[in-house]
Amino acid sequence: MSSGQIAGAVAAAALALATLLSHASCQAAPSPTSGQVAVQPVATQSTQPMGSGAAASVRMTPTSDDKAEGTGDPTPAGDPTLAGNPTPTTDAPDDSRTVPEVTSPKGVPVSQSLPWVDMDASLIDATWLGAHDELGEAATDSWREGATPYYWDAQNGTGDHVYVAFVRDGRVVSMERLNIDKNYWAVENSLEQRDLPNRMASGDVVPAPKTESELPDPLDYDDPDEYAEDAMAYFEELGEPKAYEAAVDYWEDNV
């Protein structure tokens, strides 16, 4: 065999061996089949600090909704501006608490009552009468000297005073019903008076029931029992079964 023939045979053998090895390598590497997953390389996020042109490393956590539903895109933890992480709020004080309304000594709310003795003057316009209409000059009576009178008037254009409360040192010291013989207070054919005045009434005088005895003026008495002693006969003529108590009540209503 010549040298040329030997060289050709060696080249052919090398080619055959290379082909054989290539074929064997292809058979040894299995391709993905059903039930197998091809693993792809995972790119890692940059951990370099935030800055111009630098990528931030952010830890991704699911939102509360994602945890409940198992779906949704995670949002950066701790960022209150993103969905799923509302901005924390400070509990505001509860201003809806109601303050019990002040009541009179008889237990009637101030808004449904007339002024009473020792009532705080700050409540003077909070009673059933509403805001007062005018102030008078300080009283000169010995028992209410220096007290300022607050007047409430009829609302019919007559200018009649219907009620007055005297205030001194920030407290109500005295009250008085005015024009009690008129239909602001008086009830026809009865000594009974309205608990609250009708300030819209006409202001007509209501005749008192006729009796042989005269009804003493309550303002002339400082003591209800003394008044009742003198006025009891009048109430007896009216047929009151408890004339003494009726006289005391009348004094209390008008002083």
Q: What is the CATH number of the domain that holds 118?
A: 3.30.1450
Asked if the structure places residue 164 within a domain, the reply is yes
- The per-residue pLDDT for 98 is 55
Structural domain including 149 reads 107-181
Below-70 pLDDT ranges, the chain: 1-100, 189, 191
Amino acid identity, residue 238? L
Asked if the structure places residue 142 within a domain, the reply is yes
Asked if the structure places residue 138 within a domain, the reply is yes
- The per-residue pLDDT for 59 is 42
Number of domains in the chain: 1
Asked whether 247 and 214 are in contact (CB, 8 A), the reply is no
- The per-residue pLDDT for 8 is 65
CB neighbours of residue 172 within 10 Å: 21
Asked if the structure places residue 121 within a domain, the reply is yes
Asked whether 186 and 206 are in contact (CB, 8 A), the reply is yes
Asked if the structure places residue 170 within a domain, the reply is yes
Reported pTM:
0.49
Residues 6+ apart with CB under 8 A from 237: 211, 212, 213
- The per-residue pLDDT for 243 is 85
Amino acid identity, residue 131? A
Asked whether 201 and 154 are in contact (CB, 8 A), the reply is yes
Asked if the structure places residue 160 within a domain, the reply is yes
Is the backbone of residue 59 left (phi > 0), alpha (psi -120 to 50) or beta?
A: beta
pLDDT digits (tens, 9 = 90+) for 41-58: 444 444 444 433 433 333
Asked if the structure places residue 6 within a domain, the reply is no
Q: Residue 71 in 3-state DSSP? A: coil
Asked if the structure places residue 187 within a domain, the reply is no
